[in-house]
């Protein structure tokens, strides 16, 4: 009888102690770490938003990423992955949406993220139309394929994607000297061969649940963008390994990094590139500093 009397209390203790929301609490802690992480000038911090936790996509690897430089923070295809952690969002300059499928785009989550951070939202026309009237007009920007635009000192080139929806896109994003390619969950498209400059980091879709993605598609995207670092997204572990084998067996000078959920990645192989004007300004500044330090009258001004 005593044992029967204790059973309800044991069950109650187990329920209370079970970490039912471990994923949400972990992602919240990770977001705090991401925002407080001191990214130095010339560094790029990357955080993959992990597997989908709800609905028909549960367990599938997402295509959602947060990226941070010393000057900017952006999100790409966050879907609803951060919906439970909106309050932990500190800053976003731009939210990029490649297309309207639920594993890449969630209207309610996007609206909540934009409202919290006052960010710009750059999206394919279909996704943008779903947000029209719900986000301030000057913050919502629809981008077409073969269009380039610059918002908040961030430049994006959009290319038409191969995927079963109305206006899917893939992006080359430039911020603070870094070029980032995000392949959505597209099949390979010939326009990618027109990308002239080598990208620093490429996010490529390696498989499930996308019907147009595969290890071979991800490899073709990698060859076309020729990144210093490539990070596969989507796909199961077998597809990720098959993609890794393709890259490592080729003559590409590319490092494959398999992401872990909410881990901060700072690729050492990635060094920003700056335009001629930036180099001239920097060189002029250095030259002027040297001149002033050598000028005795200038130095004497600061002597006590």
Backbone angles phi, psi at 179, to 5 degrees: -110, 125
Residue 9 has a pLDDT of: 46
CATH number at residue 226: 3.60.15.10
Rounded to an integer, what is the distance from CA 271 to the centroid of its chain? 17
Residue 272 has a pLDDT of: 92
Give a yes or no: residue 8 inside a domain. no
User: What domain range includes position 283?
Assistant: 274-304
Residue 57 has a pLDDT of: 76
pTM confidence score:
0.82
**Range list of H helices, 118-236:** 125-131, 215-225
Residue 184 has a pLDDT of: 96
Residues 243 and 298 in one domain: no
Pairing of strands 45-48, 65-68: antiparallel
Give a yes or no: residue 11 inside a domain. no
Residues 220 and 303 in one domain: no
Q: Centre a 10 Å sphere on the Cβ of residue 278 and count the other Cβ atoms it contains.
A: 12
The token pair at 90 is 């500190």
Give a yes or no: residue 12 inside a domain. no
Residue 119 has a pLDDT of: 98
Q: Using CB atoms within 10 A of its CB, is residue 249 exposed (0-12), middle (13-18) or buried (19+)?
A: exposed
Residues 70 and 128 in one domain: yes
Backbone angles phi, psi at 155, to 5 degrees: -105, 135
Residue 127 has a pLDDT of: 98
Give a yes or no: residue 7 inside a domain. no
Instruction: Specify the number of domains making up the chain.
Output: 2
Residues 109 and 187 in one domain: yes
Residues 95 and 231 in one domain: yes
Q: Rounded distance, CA 161 to CA 209, Å?
A: 16
Q: Rounded distance, CA 303 to CA 296, Å?
A: 11
DSSP tag of 201: E
3-state class (DSSP) for residue 304: coil
DSSP string, 40-64: PTT--EEEE--B--SGGGTTSB---
Give a yes or no: residue 152 inside a domain. yes
Give a yes or no: residue 9 inside a domain. no
* pLDDT tens digit at each of 304 positions of the chain: 444 444 444 444 433 333 333 333 446 689 999 999 999 999 999 999 998 877 777 878 899 999 999 999 999 999 999 999 999 999 999 999 999 999 999 999 999 999 999 999 999 999 999 999 999 999 999 999 999 999 999 999 999 999 999 999 999 999 999 999 999 999 999 999 999 889 999 999 999 999 999 999 999 999 999 999 999 999 999 999 999 999 999 999 999 999 999 999 999 989 998 653 343 443 444 455 445 556 655 445 545 4
Q: Rounded distance, CA 33 to CA 157, Å?
A: 30
Longest dimension (CA), the chain: 96
CA separation, residue 300 to residues 287, 294, 295, 296 (Å): 19, 11, 9, 6
Residues 160 and 266 in one domain: yes
**Range list of H helices, 75-214:** 107-117, 125-131
Report the candidate in 118, 183, 122 with the shortest Cα–Cα distance to residue 148.
Answer: 122
């Amino acid at each position: 009888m005593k044992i029967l009397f204790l059973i309800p209390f044991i069950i109650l203790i187990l329920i209370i102690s079970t970490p039912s929301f471990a994923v949400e609490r972990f992602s919240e802690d990770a977001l705090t770490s991401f925002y407080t992480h001191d990214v130095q000038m010339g560094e790029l911090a990357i955080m993959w938003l992990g597997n989908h936790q709800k609905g028909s996509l549960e367990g599938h690897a997402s295509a959602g990423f947060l990226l941070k430089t010393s000057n900017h923070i952006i999100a790409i295809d966050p879907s609803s992955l951060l919906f439970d952690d909106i309050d932990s969002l500190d800053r976003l300059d731009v939210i990029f949406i490649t297309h309207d499928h639920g594993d890449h785009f969630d209207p309610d989550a996007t609206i909540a993220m934009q409202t919290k951070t006052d960010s710009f939202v750059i999206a394919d026309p279909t996704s943008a139309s779903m947000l029209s009237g719900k986000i301030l007009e000057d913050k919502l920007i629809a981008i077409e394929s073969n269009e380039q635009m610059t918002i908040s000192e961030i430049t994006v080139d959009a290319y038409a994607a191969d995927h079963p929806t109305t206006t899917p896109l893939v992006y080359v994003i430039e911020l603070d000297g870094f070029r980032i390619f995000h392949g959505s969950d597209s099949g390979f498209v010939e326009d990618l061969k027109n990308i002239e400059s080598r990208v620093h980091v490429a996010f490529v879709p390696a498989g499930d649940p996308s019907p147009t993605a595969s290890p071979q598609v991800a490899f073709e995207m990698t060859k076309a963008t020729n990144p210093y670092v490539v990070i596969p997204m989507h796909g199961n572990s077998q597809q990720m390994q098959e993609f890794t084998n393709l890259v490592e067996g080729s003559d590409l000078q590319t490092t494959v990094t398999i992401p872990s959920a909410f881990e901060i990645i700072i690729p050492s192989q990635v060094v920003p590139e700056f335009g001629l004007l930036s180099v001239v300004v920097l060189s002029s500044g250095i030259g002027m500093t040297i001149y002033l330090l050598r000028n005795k009258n200038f130095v004497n001004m600061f002597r006590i």
